[in-house]
Chains A and B, each alone.
Chain A
Amino acid sequence: MDETIARPRSPLAELFLSAQSAAPDDTAQVHVQSVPFVGQVALRGKAEDGAFRDIAGQVLGLDLPLSSGSVVESEAVRIIWLGPDHWLVVTNEGEAPALVTGLQEALASQFTAVIDVSGARMRLSLAGPAARDVLASGCTLNLDPSVFPAGHALQTPVGNATAIIHCLADGTYDTTPTYDLYIPRSQALSFWRWLEHAGKPYGLSVRA
């Protein structure tokens, strides 16, 4: 039997980002970090179903967020509201299969779907004083901290991709604006080209 195991490949592998990150630009106003492999689980079920919410909450250790833009987080998982019957559970690389098994077993009697979608999206972390300006140049949402504060996440078109924007720090109280972007794998390369272009006026630096 062939012992070779197919290794996951970053959708940005051909850009050789590690070479770019070897010489970081300290004057850059935006820093971007590629996180190609993130554990992700799509959880579907009706938000108004109390039994479903209780069981899912017990397995995940957090109550499901129930309104647009909301996110709940623990050390193990991050649960992002994507719709009235749809959540994205983000976890560390390699931890999704166990999470799927746990959820599926616990929810076996419920009308739900639990799917490992770890390969569906990659994560880009965008940070720096101009991070919000770069994002705003390619998206129609109001990203002002008064309506898009830290801990808020929404799915919307950014540049040429349909991204999930998660604000980790909104720039208030002397924090550095920091956003996690979840980009569909198939759109990652063209999104990166857009990001390079959008970030150019501010200086875009690649971080390892």
Chain B
Amino acid sequence: MMLIPCPWCGPRDETEFVYGEAALERPADPHALSDQEWTDYLYFRDNPKGEHTERWFHRAGCHHWFTVERNTVTHVISAAYPPGKAEKS
């Protein structure tokens, strides 16, 4: 069980949240992408062992999406912040 620090509500139990997969930067101009690049963006994800930047949704609290930097091995959360701030690609 993880304690996830919501940027607005503070640390809350993992069961209050919904996982929203990897936090990726949306392509600025989707029309400029090839079908392969668009498919990669939509469907294919890295499965890193270690640091991972991902989105979570505070379903049972403030109903907001935010970004979490979590280590997939140790579950240590090194940062949590509102979407759009200092995101890695």
A residues in contact with B13, CB < 8 Å = 140
Are B15 and A82 in contact (CB-based, < 8 A)?
no
Please tell me which stretch of B20-28, B32-40, B45-53, B55-63 contacts chain A, meaning at least 4 of its Cβ atoms lie within 8 angstroms of it. Answer: B55-63
B8 in contact (CB, < 8 A):
yes
Q: Using a Cβ–Cβ cut-off of 8 Å, how many residues does chain B contribute to the interface with A?
A: 12
B residues in contact with A141, CB < 8 Å = 12
Are B16 and A157 in contact (CB-based, < 8 A)?
yes
A residues in contact with B61, CB < 8 Å = 83, 154-156
B residues in contact with A155, CB < 8 Å = 60-62
Are A140 and B15 in contact (CB-based, < 8 A)?
yes
Are A83 and B64 in contact (CB-based, < 8 A)?
yes
Cβ of B18 to closest chain A Cβ, rounded Å: 13
Question: A84-B64, A162-B60 in contact; A68/B12 too (CB < 8 A)?
Answer: no
What DSSP secondary structure best describes chain A's contact surface? strand
Are B8 and A84 in contact (CB-based, < 8 A)?
yes
Cβ of B89 to closest chain A Cβ, rounded Å: 26
Q: How would residues 128 to 165 of chain A score, 1 for a CB under 8 Å from any chain B CB and 0 otherwise?
A: 00000000000011000000000000111100001000
A155 and chain B: residue at smallest CB distance: B61
A residues in contact with B12, CB < 8 Å = 140-141, 156
Residue in contact with A86 in the complex, picked from B16, B60, B62, CB distance below 8 Å: B62
Given the complex of chains A and B, what is the CA–CA distance between A82 and B61 in angstroms?
7
Given the complex of chains A and B, what is the CA–CA distance between A82 and B58 in angstroms?
11
B42 in contact (CB, < 8 A):
no
A residues in contact with B63, CB < 8 Å = 82-83, 86
Given the complex of chains A and B, what is the CA–CA distance between A156 and B61 in angstroms?
6
A residues in contact with B60, CB < 8 Å = 155-157, 162
Name A's B-contacting residues (CB within 8 A).
68, 82-84, 86, 140-141, 154-157, 162
Other A-B pairs, 17, CB within 8 Å; known A82-B62, A84-B62: A68-B62, A82-B63, A83-B8, A83-B61, A83-B62, A83-B64, A84-B64, A140-B12, A140-B15, A141-B12, A154-B9, A154-B61, A155-B60, A156-B61, A157-B16, A157-B60, A162-B60
Give the 9 A-B CB pairs with smallest separation, nearest first: A83-B62, A140-B13, A68-B9, A162-B60, A157-B60, A84-B8, A155-B61, A83-B63, A68-B8
A-B contact pairs, 5 of them (CB 8 A): A83-B61, A86-B63, A155-B61, A157-B15, A157-B60
